[in-house]
Amino acid sequence: MGRAIIRNNKILVLDEATANVDLETDNFIQTKLREVFKDCTVLVIAHRLASVIDSDRILVMSDGLGEEYDHPFKLLTQSDDDEEITNREGYFAKMVLATGKESAKQLFDIAKT
Model confidence at 27, in pLDDT bands (50, 70, 90)? confident
Regarding whether 65 and 37 lie in a shared domain, the answer is: no
Q: pTM for the full model?
A: 0.83
Judge contact between 48 and 18, C-beta under 8 A. Answer: yes
So what's the pLDDT on residue 19? 80
Regarding whether 113 and 69 lie in a shared domain, the answer is: yes
Regarding whether 64 and 45 lie in a shared domain, the answer is: no
Report helix, strand or coil for 55: coil
Eight-state DSSP code of residue 52: T
- List residues bridging with 15 in a β-sheet: 45
The whole-angstrom separation of Cα 2 and Cα 14 is: 13
So what's the pLDDT on residue 89? 95
The whole-angstrom separation of Cα 82 and Cα 105 is: 13
The residue segments making up the domain with residue 67 are 60-113
Count: domains in the chain = 2
Contacts of 110 (CB under 8 A, 6+ apart): 53, 54, 72
Regarding whether 73 and 45 lie in a shared domain, the answer is: no
Regarding whether 70 and 34 lie in a shared domain, the answer is: no
pLDDT digits (tens, 9 = 90+) for 51-109: 899 899 999 999 999 999 999 999 999 999 999 999 999 999 999 999 999 999 999 99
Regarding whether 38 and 3 lie in a shared domain, the answer is: yes
